[in-house]
Each structure stands twice: as C-alpha cells, then as structure tokens.
Amino acid sequence: MNEFLQTSNYLLFLYYLGSNMVYLALLAASIMATLAQQRRLKNLWLDRLRASSLAPPISILVPAHNEERNIVESVRSLLALDYPELEVVVVNDGSTDATLGQLTRHFELTRTDMLHVSEIATEPVRAVYMSSVDRRLLVLDKESNGRKADALNAALNAASSPFVCAIDADAILEKDALLRIMAPVLSDPNRVVATGGIVRVVNGTEVADGAVRKVRLPKGFLEVMQVVEYLRAFLVGRQGWAEFNMLLIISGAFGVFRRDLCRQIGGFRTSTVGEDLDLVVRMHRHLRDKNEEYRVGFVPDPVCWTEVPSSMKSLARQRARWQSGLTDVLWQSRDMLFNRRYGRIGFLALPYHWLFECVAPLMEIVGWGTMITAACLGLLSGKFFVEFLLFGYLFGTLISIGSVVIEEMTYHRYNESRDLSRLILACFLEHFPYRQLNTLWRVRGLWEFVAGKGAWPKIERVGFNTPASPLERPAGPRSE
C-alpha cells in the first residue's frame, strides 16, 4: 500500500509537470504568433480584400434549436457582415419555442417550393423558406434527431458557396470577422482547408441591432471564470497548436471549412456531440490518407461573441457534453495513435489530447485521493505536499495571466481598468475552487460517454441585452 501511494504520487508529479511544460511551450508559441499577427495586420488591407474578386463566396450555417431569445439579433448581425458575397442558411432544428416564428416575423419569410437535396443523409426537411427582405437568407425547417450535427448537415446540403462557415445561433460576429478569418485562405488558397477565429463571452456586453456596442465583463462569478477560460483556450491553446499545424479543433461557434472537403468526408458525424472536433480530426485523417499538403489555421482577431451559461446547472451540462464529445472523437480515431501515416497528428496532437485532456479528470481525482491519503499516513512530507499544490496552483495561474496579458497587449477588448483588475483576480480564483468543480463535471461527461448518452443539452439563455426591431428592407441589389 505504501509503495503504491508513493509511486502514484511520483507519477502524478511527472504528469502535472508534463502538462505544464506543454502549456508553457504553447504559451511561448502563442506569444510569437501574436507578434507575427500584429505585423500582418499592419499590412492587411481590409478594404482591398472587401473589393477583391478573389474573395470566395461563403455560406454561413446556423443550426438553431430553441433559440428564440437570440436568433433575430444573431441573423441580423450575419446579414450585416462586411464581406463581398455571402448567404445565410438557418436550420430550425425541431424547435418547440418561437424560433421559426421570430424569424418569420422579423425577416418576412415565405415558404418556397425549392427542392432540398439530401446529399448527406439527415432527418426530413419539412419546409424551405426565403426572406422577402433579404434574398441571402434561407431558412430550413426540419425534424430533429437531437443532434446539432444533423442540423449542420442539412445546412451543408443547402449551401451553394465553396466555403462554409459554421456559427452557433447564439453567436454574433464582428462586422469584419469574415474578412479577417479568410485572410489565411486568400494568402494560401491551395493549402488552407479550414480556419478558426476566437470566441469571446458576450455576457455583460451591450448589444444593439445585431452588433456589439460596448464590451464589458459580466457581473457573475461563473461567467467571468469562463472569460478567462476562453482567453486561455483560444489565445494560448488553439493559437499555439495552430503554429505547429496540429490544431484538432475549430470551434463550432465560429469556423470556416472547404465545402467540398466537408462533403467528401460525409459531413458532420451525427453520432457524436463533439461534431466540431470530429470534423477537423476526420479532415486530418482524409488528407493524410491522400498524402496531400494542407494546413488548418487559426486567426486570433476575427471575433465571435457568444452567450455562455450563467447558472451552475447549465454550465455543468455544457462541460459534461464537451468532455463526452472529446472522449467519443478520440475513441473513434484511436487507430491514428502512433501511426506513421498520420505524422505529428498521430504522435503528438492525439496523444496529448488523450493524456492531458481526456483522462485528466480521472487523474486529478485519483491524485486528490492518493496525495491526501499519503499525507494522512505520514508517507508524504507536509512541506512537499504544500509545495506541490502551490507549484500547480501558481503555474496554472501564470498561464491564465499570460492569456490575459496577450489580450491586453494586443486586442484591448476590455478597456476599463476595473474589468482588467477583475480578470487578473479571476486568474487566481480559477484554479481553486472553480477547477475542482470543472473536474467533477468532466467526470460526469466521461460517464455519459460510457453510458451512451448524448443530445443537445438544454442551456438556459438570458438573451442579448436589447430587443430586436423589425428589419428594414435594404436598398439596392441585396433584396433582389
């Protein structure tokens, strides 16, 4: 027993050390990438991109399930995006609230006899609507199978552009977000197959007429913790992995993909709740099987604003779903592990996600138990126990502060000193007690995967700050 506890604690120390070293490397890579991005921004002529005939058309895919609070503002913001040619395809996925009614009233939808061809199998599409206010808006009303991926596939079937942009229905894009996120595609059109942008927390922020007017931190503790999480996940994690061309996930809230490639691999897999991660991993598999040169990119400054859970119950459901989806995708792609055909994806990216993301909740709980037991039995010196906890706490806090520093040095979204002070304070509170709660929620997600559970969880929405007014008919060719 004593030997088991000592060995477990030693392995736990190595585990945390390895995890922290990886994140330190990602932080360093992210800082370098941020500096390079700032140099590129000085030379990025958005006006030139806006008028360029080389900018490919984009179809924006919006799955909506019971999104009556946010859907109008979200769609309005998408139609107002600054991009040469786009269409918006909204899928009302079996909503039981007034999602379709809100869209019909605000955008004057009329039912069409347009045939919906299901190149990728989905649940039946009951009707296809077009807006008489803006012909770029297409709305599909379909039956739901409880999976977001099925709604995305229905939208993918209807999309007509060479690139598709997957957006959550509770999201708002900044006006030039599409121009910025497409910059890697325009600079390297033959290799870039997908690119993602940063997702930020809209809670507490002022929204009017489908646009963010003033950025503020949310008031609630849980929401502020999520702001820090999102900054770290995107500005450190995803930006770092993208620098090594090993990015496995482009957020389902904001990502652009080549449409033909999505269709070649069968669209979004409906048997998983981690459809965004699953799609990118299958893209890696498909392209490496064909021995093609490609790149999956990330651009940190095109911003997508999304509402995050404000209650403990909704947040627990969301994090459990994320963990369940992660585990499912990793299990489905287990044959890629340490397979030479898949190169750095099989030897570095996937092993990291298995070791430091998938089994991390179990490792932490086992670690709590063995360390406390060893300390109580006198097998672990009190000094080492305190030093170990302090090291883990300070290192994790340092990474979180690093993400806030990157935000403050470059993008300056939170301009008020009070907000910045609260963000720094949240970095110190995130690793205790918030991290422990998150660990328990993720263990629940592992159990849901083992039990075979998976569906769109019911996330309580507060809605954006201001009500939507009816859309005015635009002048010119947009309504033709």
Percent of the chain with pLDDT over 90: 56
Q: What is the pLDDT of residues 261-274, one digit of tens each?
A: 999 999 999 988 88
pLDDT value at position 462? 64
Q: Report the candidate in 11, 30, 472 with the shortest Cα–Cα distance to residue 237.
A: 30
Q: Identify the CATH number of the domain defined by range 19-354+458-466.
A: 3.90.550.10
The pTM score is 0.89
The rounded distance, in Å, linking the Cα atoms of 148 and 457 is: 10
Q: Which residue has the higher pLDDT, 38 or 143?
A: 143
Query: Average pLDDT of the chain?
Result: 87
The rounded distance, in Å, linking the Cα atoms of 18 and 387 is: 17
> What 3 state SS string does the chain have?
CHHHHHHHHHHHHHHHHHHHHHHHHHHHHHHHHHHHHHHHHHHCCHHHHHHCCCCCCEEEEEEECCCCCCHHHHHHHHHCCCCCCEEEEEEEECCCCCHHHHHHHHHCEEEECCCCCCCCCCCCEEEEEEECCCCCEEEEEECCCCCHHHHHHHHHHHCCCCEEEEECCCEEECCCHHHHHCHHHHHCCCCEEEEEEEEEECCCCEEECCEEEECCCCCCHHHHHHHHHHHHHHHHHHHHHHHCCCCCCCCCCEEEEEHHHHHHCCCCCCCCCCHHHHHHHHHHHHHHHCCCCCEEEEEEEEEEEECCCCCHHHHHHHHHHHHHHHHHHHHHCHHHCCCHHHHHHHHHHHHHHHHHHHCHHHHHHHHHHHHHHHHHCCCCCHHHHHHHHHHHHHHHHHHHHHHHHHHHHHHCCCCCHHHHHHHHHHHHHHHHHHHHHHHHHHHHHHHHHHHCCCCCCCCCCCCCCCCCCCCCCCCHHHHC
Identify the band that residue 460 occupies on the pLDDT scale cut at 50, 70 and 90. low
Query: Around 240, how many Cα atoms within 13 Å sit in the side-chain half-sphere?
Result: 23
User: How much is the average pLDDT of 415-438?
Assistant: 90
Identify the band that residue 45 occupies on the pLDDT scale cut at 50, 70 and 90. low
pLDDT value at position 474? 43
User: How much is the average pLDDT of 263-290?
Assistant: 94
Q: What is the pLDDT of residues 213-253, one digit of tens each?
A: 889 999 999 999 999 999 999 999 999 999 999 999 999 88
User: Are the C-beta atoms of residues 276 and 252 closer than 8 Å to each other?
Assistant: yes
Sequence-separated (6 or more) residues with CB below 8 Å from residue 111: 127, 128, 129
Whether the predicted pLDDT of 377 surpasses 90: no
The rounded distance, in Å, linking the Cα atoms of 155 and 224 is: 33
pLDDT value at position 212? 84
